[in-house]
Structure 1
Amino acid sequence: MDTLKSVLDKSFNIDFVSAVLSNPREKDGTVKVKIRPVMKQDRLLFQCEEYRNNQAFHLNLEAEATSEYVENQMKVFKQMQMETRQFRYQVLVSKKGKMTIQKRLQTAEVKEVNYSHNRAKHYILEEGKTVPFLRDLGVMTKTGEIVRTKFDKFRQINRFLEFIEDILPQLPKDREVTILDFGCGKSYLTFAMYYYLHELNGYDIRIIGLDLKTDVIEACNQLAKKYGYRKLKFLEGNIADYTGSDEVDMVVTLHACDTATDFALAKAVGWKAKVILSVPCCQHELNGQMANEVLAPLFSYGLIKERMAALVTDSLRAEYLKREGYDTQILEFIDMEHTPKNILIRAVYTGKRGDNDEAICACEKMLHVQPTLGKLLKGEIYD
């Protein structure tokens, strides 16, 4: 049986393609490491790109040092995906430290590796390669070039797919996976999910997009039919009233306005959805509730209070999810220069309920707030 050390020692050579270490045990350090081969003065090195504090830091190491580096990093991270020209590896580490290594033969020809030391950023959906839905949604030209005014949207789509890439080990490959996208809108990201999971990674998935705009739903259904995306459907309806599914694997809610996010999260918890990805929007509710004598001088500035209310709203949402048995993170979605709505809540169901109920109650009492999600989960509001 292969050990991590033996796998690493055999992998870091000219046949190495890439590796991604993700899902850290601690949330305040390095959140991800990407490794790729580079040639520098005719020497094969391995560039380790560490992501922390919204910045990337690089180390160029030789094979033996890279093997030792990854072995040490896997004491910090809970999963790794690695590719060589011959094999694909998935390494998972349980909470008790038990390591599982899955090894599969490559079933498709590995694309040519770029060994250049300074290269353009690699996107999951590549520039220069035509993707039909991106072309029809106006993001890409017929030749695969990115429309200049849509490059921010292109970056956003790829950033979202990086979050999907991180949670792939949570999605079963031996059965159909059901994904609900609440408030899907024009569905850039819904189409991207289907394309990435089904077309590029071979998952058997069913995605249901839900939105209130009739014309948008009709247009998206026409596009799904055009591409032959048989299990991608769009429905008109309200998040709070949706009852069309009994078992759901992943819930996505992107820019659902104000308390619509809370109803979507409550639905996800009720289904015990394995993965939740939520980008909240327009968090107005607590702005009208928050009150505290000590913080009153700060709350006197409307803009400051509004921003604080949004941060408190999303922090409490994350804490509620922890209490309900989710490993929860708050991550940066895209850069602030592109949109102020840049927080993504990512939650993975573990079944182990958090012991933070007392802390949540103390925060609510201190700020005199009663968020909708808290009341939904207590059954005080019926979704």
Structure 2
Amino acid sequence: METIQQLLNEILDIDFIQGIISNPRTKDGILKMKVRPVEMKDGLYFQCESFTKTQAFHENLKAEEAAERLANSMSEFRQMQLSTKTMNYTVLISKKGKVTIQKKRQQGEVRAAELSHNRSKRYILQEGIAVPFLQDLGVMTAEGKIVKSRFDKFRQINRFLEFIEDILPQLDKGRELTILDFGCGKSYLTFAMYYYLHELKKYDIRVVGLDLKKDVIEHCSRLAEKYGYEKLTFLVGDIADYEGVQEVDMVVTLHACDTATDYALAKAIGWNAKVILSVPCCQHELNGQIQAKELAPIMDYGLLKERFAALVTDGLRAKYLEASGYDTQVLEFIDMEHTPKNILLRAVKTGKADQEAGEAVKQCEAFLGADPTLGKLLGFDRE
């Protein structure tokens, strides 16, 4: 990691804005790291923040120490994004350890980093900057202040945008990108995604939101027109039947109920989507299929059976994605409208199918006596 440490030694100074290390090689331990400059009594330090599934750890290091710490951490990750006042850097590491560094000059004026040590959490959508769709949601006032009773919604929207921030290197900024949002509902996250990618990050995107509720779609269409979001379209339709595109860049499916998630994932894979973000819900299918006698002590209790079946369903979905050529993570997503915490599946296309994952799925399904919809849609025969 000498090349990475050399880069960090060059840019960790007062002009450094932030760094994000993501896409871990394992699903245990540290899942993400962030670094930013902080001004302390004895000079400039760099605050390194490490996140596990349940905890966050902080340490303040001098520039050389921070460069060494971050460079060594890259042995456990696949990508790093770095920003200074003049440049953006993307560091990618292949499975064989090859390091690729891409750099691009900043466009326009860039705000200097906030150097306060005891600053409040820095959200992607910040308080004080009025955002039209947040005002209509009742999350923000016309002056840009967050409504106290809606702060959980504000936090959830920002958390969702953080998941997108991590995969920006996978999205081509030199052409129009197509993004589909299945089961978009009231579409507050759809609007957030469009605002973040198009208005803040200046990506050329075309977003299609699909839902079965005609009145909801009509309302969202009116809002898109009101905001001047010309490439944000809402349609009434079923996930399983939608045929409006040949290929897509990203598919988002949030709370598509039960097997509707499976149809959305199968569609995404068939369209060679580079990125898939899915928050499943109401995973009922396997609850009625699991027959393993060895699990009878658990299955005798309806609540435990329901939760077990839901976890198994999403675990198998993740493995099906890996078997279909996607690097897949199972992440925790804060959702105040359904349950306190949900699972989010984030998949990035590698093009290299994991045959071991496919075999593991078959063995697991055989043991459970289950035959999930996604496997059938993808043509994974269990013999």
Q: Give the TM bin, normalised by the shorter chain.
A: over 0.9
**Any residues of structure 2 matched to 1:247-266 within 5 Å, and which?**
247-266=247-266
Aligned residues of 2:335 and 2:341 also touching (Cα < 8 A): no
What is aligned with 1:373? Answer: 374
Aligned AA (1:105): R
CA distance in 2: counterparts of 1:322 and 1:86, whole angstroms = 37
CA distance in 2: counterparts of 1:59 and 1:110, whole angstroms = 26
What is aligned with 2:313? Answer: 313
**Any residues of structure 2 matched to 1:1-383 within 5 Å, and which?**
3-334=3-334, 339-340=339-340, 342-355=342-355, 356-378=357-379
Kindly, what percent of the aligned residue pairs are identical? 66
Aligned residues of 2:325 and 2:354 also touching (Cα < 8 A): yes
Deviation sequence 1:96-119 (CA, Å, 0-9, x none): 222111222222222242212121
Deviation sequence 1:42-94 (CA, Å, 0-9, x none): 42110000001321001110011111112111222211111112222111112
SS at match of 1:59: strand
Shift of 1:196: 0.6
Of stretches 85-94 and 220-229 in structure 1, the one that deviates more from structure 2 is 85-94
Aligned residues of 1:50 and 1:56 also touching (Cα < 8 A): yes
CA distance in 2: counterparts of 1:151 and 1:340, whole angstroms = 14
CA distance in 2: counterparts of 1:236 and 1:335, whole angstroms = 24
SS at match of 1:130: coil
- Change beyond 3 A, Cα 1:87–1:145: same
Shift of 1:290: 1.1
CA distance in 2: counterparts of 1:316 and 1:89, whole angstroms = 35
Aligned AA (2:72): N
Shift of 1:140: 1.1
Shift of 1:340: 4.3
SS at match of 1:373: helix
CA distance in 1: counterparts of 2:341 and 2:255, whole angstroms = 8
Shift of 1:339: 2.0
SS at match of 2:13: coil
Shift of 1:378: 1.2
- Change beyond 3 A, Cα 1:221–1:328: same
Aligned residues of 2:18 and 2:113 also touching (Cα < 8 A): no
Aligned AA (2:121): K
CA distance in 1: counterparts of 2:157 and 2:262, whole angstroms = 23
Aligned residues of 1:176 and 1:204 also touching (Cα < 8 A): yes
Aligned residues of 2:197 and 2:205 also touching (Cα < 8 A): yes
Of stretches 173-182 and 338-347 in structure 1, the one that deviates more from structure 2 is 338-347
CA distance in 1: counterparts of 2:39 and 2:338, whole angstroms = 34
Aligned AA (2:369): H
Shift of 1:370: 0.8
- Change beyond 3 A, Cα 1:18–1:183: same
Aligned AA (2:375): G
- How many residues matched? 379
CA distance in 2: counterparts of 1:335 and 1:227, whole angstroms = 25
Of stretches 351-360 and 28-37 in structure 1, the one that deviates more from structure 2 is 351-360
Aligned residues of 2:87 and 2:106 also touching (Cα < 8 A): yes
Shift of 1:365: 1.2
Of stretches 142-151 and 214-223 in structure 1, the one that deviates more from structure 2 is 142-151
CA distance in 1: counterparts of 2:37 and 2:360, whole angstroms = 46
CA distance in 2: counterparts of 1:335 and 1:238, whole angstroms = 24
Q: Any runs of at least 4 consecutive aligned residues in structure 1 with deviations exceeding 4 A, and if so which?
A: 335-338
Of stretches 12-21 and 158-167 in structure 1, the one that deviates more from structure 2 is 12-21
CA distance in 2: counterparts of 1:88 and 1:125, whole angstroms = 20
Aligned residues of 2:152 and 2:336 also touching (Cα < 8 A): no
Deviation sequence 1:252-274 (CA, Å, 0-9, x none): 00001111101000101111111
Shift of 1:347: 0.6
| Structure 1 stretches lacking a partner, 5+ long | none
Shift of 1:3: 4.0
CA distance in 2: counterparts of 1:337 and 1:265, whole angstroms = 23
- Change beyond 3 A, Cα 1:98–1:15: same
Aligned AA (2:84): T
SS at match of 1:244: coil
Aligned residues of 1:325 and 1:354 also touching (Cα < 8 A): yes
